[in-house]
């Protein structure tokens, strides 16, 4: 496999991120999370890159609310903390929320969703063991996704074909990005990676994620099926069918800030209420939609 590097130095990243008001000629919606100054809890948002507008959508009464993925019809999945951690399905246009809990679980987190309303995520059973699942919302059926050899499987993204990506621990105890086609698991990571994780897969089978190299530097990556493009900006957390990529990086104060790459254009995603609180804090975009909404 050929490893291709995107030519973006850290200096260029800082320069681009200084222009927060940049907008792109597109109408995508971005979902994600941020930490404000009132607590160390997360809040969830929807961001419109066209007008640089954020809207918040926390679960009422929850101490923490997170969004992880959005599909083409405005359905968003995530989690909230209120008497435990629960999965959440939220309709951006109607504001309706549905709680999703894996049966007999102690914790449920929903990480990915496709246009058929098939959701993937993880749950913890009563013994404290972690498992991955898929949930067909229309059929109201759960399926546990495990492997006889791999452990700590986390299903994070799913596309329109039902292909799933995420991270697992291999036989050597190393974290690896994977793709699962419903029958087999395939390791998907750049050459020389010592640790990796996949976050999203679009309808073209292109995968976004992150990896550590031998110097323990973390990169974002984008895999098109034959080549890897890597990003010094930081982990890639989402991608859509047009090849628009989002992820997170850090400014000079170590505050987390999001990025969006559309061809040769790069913009910053920085929630106005987001702050850095040691050891973490800021804005974390997690997924981007496909369709034009206007």
Residue with tokens 């913890």: 124
Q: What is the pLDDT of residue 13?
A: 39
Q: What is the pLDDT of residue 241?
A: 95
Q: Are 133 and 123 in contact (CB under 8 A)?
A: yes
CB burial string 142-157: b at 16+ within 10 A, e below: beebeeeebeebbbbb
Q: What is the pLDDT of residue 279?
A: 66
CA dist 45 and 56 (Å) reads 4
Q: Is residue 82, in this structure, part of any structural domain at all?
A: yes
Q: Is residue 254, in this structure, part of any structural domain at all?
A: yes
Which residues have CB under 8 Å from 290's CB, separation 6+? 28, 72, 202, 203, 240, 241, 242
Question: Which range of residues forms the domain containing residue 68?
Answer: 2-288
Q: Which residues are registered as beta bridge partners of 129?
A: none
Q: What is the pLDDT of residue 22?
A: 43
Domain of 274, CATH number, reads 2.120.10.30
> Parallel, antiparallel, or unpaired: how do β-strands 175-180 and 227-231 relate?
unpaired
Instruction: Walk along the chain (294 residues) in steps of 10 and give the mean pLDDT of each run.
Output: 35 37 63 83 92 95 97 96 97 96 97 98 95 97 94 96 97 95 94 95 97 94 94 93 94 89 91 82 94 56
Decide: helix, strand or coil at residue 237: strand
CB burial string 255-290: b at 16+ within 10 A, e below: bbbbbbbbeeebbbbbbeebebeeeebbbbbbbbbb
Q: What is the pLDDT of residue 11?
A: 31
Q: How many folded domains does the chain comprise?
A: 1
Q: Is residue 294, in this structure, part of any structural domain at all?
A: no
Q: Is residue 59, in this structure, part of any structural domain at all?
A: yes
- Residue 68's CB is within 10 A of a number of other CB atoms, namely 30
Q: Is residue 293, in this structure, part of any structural domain at all?
A: no
Q: What is the pLDDT of residue 16?
A: 40
Q: What is the pLDDT of residue 280?
A: 72
Does the CA dihedral 109-280-24-242 come out positive or negative?
negative
Q: Is residue 115, in this structure, part of any structural domain at all?
A: yes
Residues in the chain: 294
């Amino acid at each position: 496999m050929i490893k291709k590097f995107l030519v973006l130095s850290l200096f260029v990243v800082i320069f681009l991120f200084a222009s927060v008001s940049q907008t792109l000629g597109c109408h995508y919606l971005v979902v994600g999370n941020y930490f404000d100054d009132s607590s160390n809890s997360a809040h969830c948002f929807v961001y419109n890159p066209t007008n640089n507008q954020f809207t918040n959508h926390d679960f009422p009464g929850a101490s923490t609310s997170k969004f992880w993925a959005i599909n083409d019809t405005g359905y968003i999945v995530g989690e909230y903390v209120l008497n435990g951690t629960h999965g959440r399905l939220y309709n951006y246009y109607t504001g309706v929320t549905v709680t999703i809990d894996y049966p007999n679980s102690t914790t449920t987190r929903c990480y990915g969703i496709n246009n058929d309303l098939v959701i993937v995520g993880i749950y913890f059973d009563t013994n404290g063991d972690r498992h991955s699942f898929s949930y067909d919302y229309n059929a109201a059926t759960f399926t546990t996704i495990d492997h006889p050899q791999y452990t700590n499987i986390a299903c994070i993204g799913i596309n329109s074909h039902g292909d799933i990506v995420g991270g697992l621990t291999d036989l050597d105890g190393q974290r690896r990005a994977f793709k699962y086609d419903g029958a087999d698991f395939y390791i998907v990571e750049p050459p020389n990676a010592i640790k990796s994780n996949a976050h999203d897969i679009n309808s073209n089978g292109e995968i976004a994620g992150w990896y550590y190299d031998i110097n323990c530097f973390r990169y974002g990556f984008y895999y098109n099926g034959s080549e890897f493009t890597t990003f010094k900006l930081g982990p890639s957390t989402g991608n859509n069918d047009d090849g628009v990529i989002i992820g997170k990086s850090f400014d000079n104060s170590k505050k987390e800030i999001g990025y969006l790459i559309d061809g040769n254009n790069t913009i910053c995603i920085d929630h106005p209420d987001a702050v850095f609180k040691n050891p973490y804090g800021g804005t974390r975009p997690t997924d981007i939609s496909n369709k034009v909404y206007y």
